[in-house]
Homo-oligomer: A and B are copies of this chain.
Amino acid sequence: MTATAARTSARKRAGNGAARSIDADEIGLDALVGHAGYAVRRFQIWIFQDFVKTLGNVDIRPTQYSVLTVIGANPGLSQMAVAKRLGIERARLVHLLDSLEQRKLVRRVKSKTDRRSHALHLTPQGETALAKFKRLAAEHERHVEEKIGKENRERLLRILADFT
């Protein structure tokens, strides 16, 4: 049905090996239009690009921002706790923290209660930097609002609240 319709409209395009030049608009997505994952993926790419662009001057990427924010709101957390909360692998978090620690935004303090783990803290510079990052991130969020609409953004947040 859907497949048949798509197939029929496609016939006029090329039955053999001719690649007619076509406007991207008239290329049907067929089954993809019914897949939430496809739309979400495209949207997520758009969001990431805007985030990276908006926070380009301070050189902070989404993942780094999420790590800084969680540490800032919960100082003293272990790497394991941060990784679990954000759904990041602990192996991956190691490199993220290496980078953030080199930039003097985060400190790994040896925990005295558990000598395996590190207690994560923002440095004073990290705190002021994070404040700036949050302002830029809010600006990015306004771009999202402009893109999909104020109400739609709120609906989206409600729908996906369980995943945070």
Contacts and interface: CB of A to CB of B under 8 A. Distances in A.
Nearest to A107: B17
Interface residues of A, number: 83
Tell me how many chains of this kind the complex includes: 2
A70 B27 contact: yes
Contacts of A117: 19
Interface in A33-68: 33-48, 51, 62, 66
B163 A19 contact: no
Contact of A19 (B6, B47, B48, B78): B78
Interface string A140-153: 11001000100011
Contacts of A3: 72-73, 131, 134
Q: Is the interface of A mostly helix, strand, loop or mixed?
A: helix
Contacts of A47: 36-37, 40-41
Interface in A98-156: 109-114, 117-121, 131, 134, 137, 140-141, 144, 148, 152-153, 155-156
For A19, A29, A37, A47, which residue has the most chain B Cβ atoms within 10 angstroms?
A19
A14 B159 contact: no
